[in-house]
Structure 1
Amino acid sequence: MLAAVLDQFHKYWMLDVFGIEARQPVTLTPFLDVVLSWNYGVSYSLFPAHEDAGRALLLAGQGLIVAGLFWWMWRAPNRLTTLALGLVIGGALGNAADRLTRGAVADFFYLHTTLPVGPLANYVFNVADVAIAAGVALLLFESLFAPEPPAEGAAKA
């Protein structure tokens, strides 16, 4: 939940205090700017939904996914899994709150390059997306490097 709160606070600050819409772009590095981009779909603007019915379908889909992740988190075998799933859920809830209250997700960080390096050549994201990516990275780390739990019924030495 902390990820959702941080995401919503950042979006409030960028939109209503800093006023990014009137100040954009703000160049931070040669490859990173701060801008305002409204995402009406999901990742990479897939499945854009400009109408209420489409947004309702996206929110329903997000709700089902979040419910499944909550179930997984409830049954998580350790704290790392719980943390990772909490980040993914918090990020999803932060973006869902935007879709519900603003009609679209506000993205601010524009990562870009002139090299044709795939999807990150031009990528706009927000704090919620960072939380989701960090959670997924932790889940991948855990699946690759966590020790295997002992098998049930295994003989103890």
Structure 2
Amino acid sequence: MRILFRWTVIIFALDQVTKWLVLSWLDLANRGEIDVLPPILNLRMAWNYGINFGLLQGHSDTARQVLIAVALGIVAFVLWWAWREKLKPLGMACAGVLIGGALGNVVDRMVYGAVADFLNMSCCGIENPYAFNVADVAIFAGALGLVFFADGKKGS
């Protein structure tokens, strides 16, 4: 479990530091957009009141609280499951990456009322209209990693 907690802290800190840099240092909330390596990497401010890709948008306090509760429920389940299955180190790391990302977005919802998304990547003539953040990447990567590396020590 130590590996899980280590990765949770690393991802959570990386997510929060990048959001602080973008919101406070670069003032992206007011600037709106900054081209970094167009079109491959751009910073585009977007407040996500829903889930991935803005699905289930809800600007009410109730919607925000439900999304926070769901995320915390998922975190609790993944913690319990990783502990119960006694995942191998790579599986624990993946679980920690997912949890760190989920907690990063929970903090956004609590502090800002929405998730701060700011990374925008396009390539090969295809313009991506969506923005995301480090937490979103971590949630996706952690979940994908668990699909491939979730074998526990029980059956081994």
Q: Same fold (TM over 0.5)?
A: yes
Secondary structure of residue in 2 paired with 1:122: coil
Structure 1 residue 129 displacement after superposition: 1.0
Structure 1 residue 122 displacement after superposition: 2.9
20, 24, 38: which is aligned to 2:47? Answer: 38
Cα separation, 2, equivalents of 1:110 and 1:100: 24
Q: Please give the residue correspondences for 1:65-76 in structure 2 after superposition, counting only pairs within 5 Å.
A: 65-75=74-84, 76=86
Structure 2 vs 1, CA of residues 150 and 54 (structure 1 numbering), >3 Å: closer, same or farther?
closer
Note the residue ranges of structure 1 that are not aligned, 5 or more in a row: 153-157
* Alignment check: 8 A CA contact 1:107 1:124 kept: yes
Cα separation, 2, equivalents of 1:137 and 1:103: 28
Structure 2 vs 1, CA of residues 151 and 30 (structure 1 numbering), >3 Å: closer, same or farther?
closer
Cα separation, 2, equivalents of 1:10 and 1:99: 16
Amino acid across the alignment from 1:21: A
Structure 2 vs 1, CA of residues 17 and 151 (structure 1 numbering), >3 Å: closer, same or farther?
closer
Structure 2 vs 1, CA of residues 69 and 36 (structure 1 numbering), >3 Å: closer, same or farther?
same
Structure 2 vs 1, CA of residues 15 and 149 (structure 1 numbering), >3 Å: closer, same or farther?
closer
Moved more, 132-141 or 45-54: 132-141
Q: How many residues align?
A: 145
Structure 1 residue 21 displacement after superposition: 2.7
9, 20, 25: which is aligned to 1:12? Answer: 20
Task: Tell me if 1:124 matches 2:131.
Answer: yes
Cα separation, 1, equivalents of 2:154 and 2:114: 46
Q: Please give the residue correspondences for 1:57-96 in structure 2 after superposition, counting only pairs within 5 Å.
A: 57-75=66-84, 76-96=86-106
Structure 1 residue 136 displacement after superposition: 2.1
* Alignment check: 8 A CA contact 1:73 1:86 kept: no
